[in-house]
Chains A and B, each alone.
Chain A
């Protein structure tokens, strides 16, 4: 699975489950947490989604604003774990 596929699945999950707006035009490099779109506590949902959907575990200390602020950041982390 490449990063674009990961991003597509993540985008769908975040827009529908966290932003409550499936049609939200979320960009790849749009700040999610620092812009206030989602709070850092919602990263737990992203962490569990990565476990269930991609079968990768992102450790808790990596679920931080500076590492998971955009779709690009999240997809990069997940792809990195998948290839490890």
Chain B
């Protein structure tokens, strides 16, 4: 892959300069040309990572554009045939980029032994940025056209923009075609309120990413993930909890910035998080964490599997109806996240937890008890434990679980080692609590003016200090 110049990370100064230039052009050109400006900007953004990535994206958009037209024009069984060919192609491209690196050694070895190639080969193929996300969008577009929920879009520019729109290209949110196309067709007017809301989303996103996630990333003890047994159990519990907050704020920060930037163009992207650390159960957690992915999995995996099973046996207490759909859904989620066994284990265990909750609910004789604070604490502790294979491979996961239950001397926590991470955790909970208490994503704007000014000034000052002292860590979800 050929790289032209510095790749634009969404928190880099380069990205904000790029976005400013695009805003200038976007508001200077006639409205009819605005979608074209956004599409060209998206390809330029992609090219800053590698021109091949842009080539893949363009080819991918054209292919899906034609498949949607084919599905729409076909009748009877050939509609379904075109849909399946489209899905297999999309999944095939994703699997190729995600798995080729791990499997090429065995593939070329087999080809060499069969005499089909003269020598063992090794190819270096990088996974295009955002491919995991835009493949899901393409599949949902084809399925929706097949279900006749939306007509096939005859405008190649709009389909291409739907798949490649730069604020959401790297890591979503995973948008639905109907919602996106409606906004492309609308007369987009960005008023003062929308500008304020968007700037606040960007500001909070930067605080989440730089002040919380990057601060924690710098403080995590080296070797915590590589060799967990070296650490005391109290250290493991503390840092594991803190690293959970880090992953959340890393992704929520990215989403906030992406939604804020997009809002300035008059295109609203879907929310991805709703205070997941206040979840009251495992199903509730997945309705609050990476919501655009959860909703996608619900609509295109869980519901079709669940309905197909219920049609065979409509009983809500038939165990396979309760266990198989969440298990299948979460294993698919695991495979989507990564090509390794630990992600499958992660998906399997989360599926089991959901299945257990569903079975419990289905067979419960009495009304469920009112939700207590302990349910929130218990849910998060279990999930943090179960989610170990999300970050660790299988041997490290088992080492972590061994270490966490290995009673031993407490680590002496010092103010110096814990103050910064605790500040980061407190800030994360404050932002979530504010959202929860006001039931308003932009509740900070409803605070008294003086408080707003104080928080803005403090945030800016801390962001300035942090960007001078620490190196921005790459977004974790960008890897997927």
Contact = CB atoms under 8 A, between A and B. Distances in A.
Interface string B166-183: 000000000010000000
B314 A41 contact: no
A48 B315 CA distance: 10
Contacts of B306: 41, 44
A49 interface: yes
A70 B315 CA distance: 21
Contact of A61 (B149, B363, B365): B149
B307 A44 contact: yes
A41 B316 contact: no
Contact of A48 (B287, B302, B311, B364): B311
B311 A51 contact: yes
Contact of B303 (A17, A20, A39, A47): A47
Contacts of B361: 39
Contacts of A51: 311
A48 B303 CA distance: 10
B-side interface mostly:
helix
Contacts of A17: 315-316
A35 to B, nearest CB: 11
A40 B368 contact: no
A33 to B, nearest CB: 10
A36 interface: yes
Interface in B302-318: 302-304, 306-307, 310-311, 314-316
Interface in B274-300: 280, 283, 287, 298-300
Interface string B254-289: 000000000000000000000000001001000100
Interface string A42-70: 11110111011000000111010000000
A44 to B, nearest CB: 4
Chain B CB count within 10 A is highest, among A20, A36, A51, A60, for A60
Contacts of A59: 147, 149
B287 A36 contact: no
A40 B287 contact: yes
19 contacts: A17-B315, A17-B316, A18-B316, A20-B362, A20-B365, A40-B287, A41-B283, A41-B298, A41-B302, A41-B306, A44-B310, A45-B310, A49-B314, A51-B311, A59-B147, A60-B303, A61-B144, A61-B149, A61-B299
Q: 3 nearest interchain CB pairs? A: A44-B306, A48-B310, A60-B303
Interface of B: 144, 147, 149, 176, 280, 283, 287, 298-300, 302-304, 306-307, 310-311, 314-316, 325-326, 354, 358, 361-365, 367-368, 371
Interface of A: 17-18, 20-21, 36, 39-45, 47-49, 51-52, 59-61, 63
Given A59-B149, A61-B299, 6 more contacts: A18-B316, A41-B283, A41-B326, A45-B310, A45-B316, A60-B298
